[in-house]
């Protein structure tokens, strides 16, 4: 089966989906929130939690045996457990728009907003600078169907991956039958996205044409194996900074995200899609799902297209893993170096500049 990226190569290629970011940088802050908003009537939701240290909200509700079928938004945030408060702001904003699970008279609704958080505390220099409900309100207010910014934005603002700068990545694919599958991932892992043997990105082999365009309307890039001396220097600096091999942890981490599709799925199928999405993480980050990561992926299925047959669902699962891998790579490539009183997190492009070359 051959797939191609959607028009924007991002989560909003699934019709009706919106993405919004809000972040704070400076004065001790380096954190943010990203919200993925479903159409007003919601989307069938699923989740799979694989990491040993998760921070989540409303994941039990998504169990296929439980009542509520549709999700109205997903909150992805920094701030560890404190950052779960961002989802309160998203829920309040949805409620004010009249969107939610009906609970009585018109307007009496409860928005269904699952969420997950990454650990980024103290990366801006002050431990107690974490997202609250206002971050959720602002991220929701900024949400749109335009291609979302990638890299050091929203929930990816304080992210790191194996000692390098992490961030937000997204990718999409259109299957031969017209079904769209897309992912948005906040890459913040204890493990590394870089193969220490040659400095290439583990997930780069899964990229499609257009994946090295790192921002909307930006240039494409060519990926190469970096110069060996450059790789050696990057490794030596990583050791000096306390992250030898660009892959050992200083603190806790966690990678979180959303896989979306316009296919009609049951809750059980949505849960399976989320689980297969974790295969995509494993292709792009090593190690993954550690005891100090809370890796969590959600699925949102809008149902704009018909339910797939068995073969179609099999193909959708395979593509779900691939778009997650591509989203991780795009996050690492889009990230920029950040320095705060807590330290410096170099981007992959700055650590190994010969590995990523803009195409004129």
Are 118 and 93 within 8 A, CB to CB?
Answer: no
Query: Among candidates 343, 233, 323, 223, which has minimal Cα distance to 280?
Result: 323
The residues facing 185 across adjacent strands are 169, 257
Q: What is the pLDDT of residue 250?
A: 52
Q: What is the pLDDT of residue 161?
A: 95
Are 21 and 76 within 8 A, CB to CB?
Answer: no
**Alpha-carbon gap, residue 282 to 289, rounded angstroms:** 8
Question: Could you tell me how far CA 277 lies from the centroid of its own chain?
Answer: 11
Least confident range from 134-148, 230-244, 333-347: namely 230-244
Specify the pairing of strand 18-26 against strand 29-37.
antiparallel
What is the pTM (predicted TM-score) of this model? 0.96
| pLDDT tens sequence across 74-84 | 999 999 999 99
Angle value at C-alpha 277, between 272 and 281, nearest 5 degrees? 150
Task: Look at phi and psi of residue 100 and say left if phi exceeds 0, alpha if psi is from -120 to 50, else beta.
Answer: left
| pLDDT tens sequence across 152-175 | 999 999 999 998 999 999 999 999
Average pLDDT over residues 51-74: 96
pLDDT higher than 90, residue 2: no
| pLDDT tens sequence across 318-327 | 999 999 999 9
| More reliable by pLDDT, 244 or 138 | 138
Q: What is the pLDDT of residue 244?
A: 39
Rounded alpha-carbon distances, angstroms, from residue 92 to 57, 134, 350: 15, 10, 40
Residues 6+ apart with CB under 8 A from 49: 56, 59, 294, 295, 296
| pLDDT tens sequence across 100-125 | 999 989 899 999 999 999 999 999 99
In the chain, % helix, strand, coil (3-state, to 5) comes to 30, 25, 45
**Alpha-carbon gap, residue 38 to 182, rounded angstroms:** 13
Burial of 217 (0-12, 13-18, 19+ CB in 10 A): exposed
Are 310 and 266 within 8 A, CB to CB?
Answer: no
| pLDDT tens sequence across 212-261 | 998 877 889 999 999 999 998 888 877 666 553 344 445 679 999 999 99
Average pLDDT over residues 288-292: 94
Q: Which domains does the chain have, with CATH numbers?
A: 11-358 (3.60.70.12)
| φ and ψ at residue 30, rounded to 5 degrees | -160, 75
Are 165 and 331 within 8 A, CB to CB?
Answer: no
Are 76 and 56 within 8 A, CB to CB?
Answer: no
Asked whether the CA dihedral 217, 353, 182, 123 is positive or negative, the reply is negative
Mean pLDDT of the chain: 94
Q: What is the pLDDT of residue 46?
A: 98
Asked whether the CA dihedral 85, 77, 171, 258 is positive or negative, the reply is negative
**Alpha-carbon gap, residue 131 to 82, rounded angstroms:** 7
Q: What is the pLDDT of residue 242?
A: 55
Residue 131, both tokens: 């997202």
Neighbour count for residue 359 (Cβ, 10 Å): 9
């Amino acid at each position: 089966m051959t797939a191609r990226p959607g028009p924007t190569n991002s989560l909003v290629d699934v019709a009706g989906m919106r993405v919004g970011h809000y972040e704070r940088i400076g004065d001790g802050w380096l954190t943010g929130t990203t919200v993925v908003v479903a159409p007003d009537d919601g989307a069938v939701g699923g989740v799979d939690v694989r990491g040993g240290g998760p921070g989540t909200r409303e994941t039990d509700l998504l169990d296929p045996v439980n009542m509520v079928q549709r999700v109205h938004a997903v909150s992805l945030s920094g701030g560890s457990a404190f950052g779960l408060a961002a989802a309160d702001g998203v829920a309040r904003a949805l409620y004010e728009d009249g969107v939610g699970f009906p609970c009585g008279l018109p307007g009496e609704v409860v928005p269904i907003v699952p969420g997950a958080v990454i650990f980024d505390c103290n990366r801006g220099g002050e431990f107690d600078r974490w997202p609250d409900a206002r971050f959720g309100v602002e991220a929701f207010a900024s949400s749109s169907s335009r291609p979302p910014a990638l890299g050091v934005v929203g929930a990816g603002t304080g992210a790191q991956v194996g000692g390098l700068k992490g961030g937000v990545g997204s990718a999409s694919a259109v299957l031969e039958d017209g079904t769209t599958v897309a992912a948005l991932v906040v890459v913040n892992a204890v493990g590394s996205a870089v193969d220490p043997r040659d400095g290439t990105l583990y997930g780069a082999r899964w990229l499609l044409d257009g994946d090295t365009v790192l921002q909307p309307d930006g240039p494409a890039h060519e990926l190469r194996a970096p110069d060996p001396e450059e790789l050696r220097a990057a490794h030596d600096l990583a050791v000096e900074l306390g992250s030898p091999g660009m892959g050992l942890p200083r603190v806790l981490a966690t990678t979180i995200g959303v896989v979306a599709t316009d296919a009609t799925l049951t809750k059980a199928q949505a849960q399976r899609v989320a689980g297969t999405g974790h295969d995509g993480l494993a292709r792009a980050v090593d190690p993954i799902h550690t005891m100090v990561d809370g890796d969590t992926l959600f699925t949102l299925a809008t149902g704009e297209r018909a339910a797939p047959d068995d073969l179609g669902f099999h193909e959708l699962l395979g593509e779900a893993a691939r778009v997650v891998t591509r989203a991780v790579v795009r996050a690492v490539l889009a990230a920029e170096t950040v320095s705060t009183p807590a330290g410096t997190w170099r981007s992959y492009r700055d650590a190994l500049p010969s590995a990523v070359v803009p195409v004129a």
